[in-house]
Amino acid sequence: MSDSELRKVLNFDESDLNANRSGKLTSKQNKALDRSDKLDSYISIGLGILFLLVALIFTYLQVSPMLAHGFSLTNLTAEDKKGLTIIAILWLIMGVVAIGSFIRSFNKVNRAVRKAEGKVSFVKSEKRIEKLDTDGRMSFVRNEVQYDLHVGTNIFSGVNEKLMNIMGDGDVYTIYYVDGFGILSAEFVRKEK
């Protein structure tokens, strides 16, 4: 185990570790959290807009044929009623999801520095990677191997595989982290027999 290797892989320095020990973040860590918050916000807003666009396009596709055959609210056909019902349900669902996405865009990561201490172990897991087909359906692409770091009762998913060569399985470490962001810094405590 090497402190310098651990710092390099987890991207922290002594000042980060000292601040984290006292439950604080450094300006570098705050900037990284700001970038993460901003990215999450952009993604949430983008998803909200996407849901509204899907609803608009679907509405257009449903309403266009109705208008083509002389749609009138006073003389609704069974097909018109069915189309309007589908549109109403779609807008209800997509509206709620879009509003949820917009609200989520204002949520910021709780910046409380947390501490996990205990024996470390690495667990190999597989994550299913999918992509959209040209027709918009999800299709299986591959399984991707990732490693989860277990520290006491805490689990950190998808950690850098290089940590396995640095942290000894069963050794005791203290990990400083922020929920929803990940590991800030770490330090070796003791070797277990």
Torsion of Cα atoms, 155 then 156 then 160 then 161, to 10°: 10
Q: How far is CA 1 from CA 162, 164, 172, in A?
A: 11, 10, 12
Domain ranges for the chain, please list them: 3-12+111-190, 35-104
Mind listing the pLDDT tens digit of every residue in the chain (193 residues)?
567 888 888 888 888 888 999 888 888 888 888 888 888 888 888 888 888 888 888 888 887 777 777 767 777 777 778 878 888 888 888 888 888 888 888 877 677 888 988 888 888 877 776 666 666 665 656 677 788 888 888 888 878 778 887 888 888 889 898 887 788 888 888 877 6
pTM of the model: 0.63
CATH number assigned to the domain with residue range 3-12+111-190, chosen from the 4 options 3.30.430, 2.50.20, 2.40.50, 2.60.40:
2.40.50
Report angle CA 164, 6, 33 to the nearest 5 degrees: 105
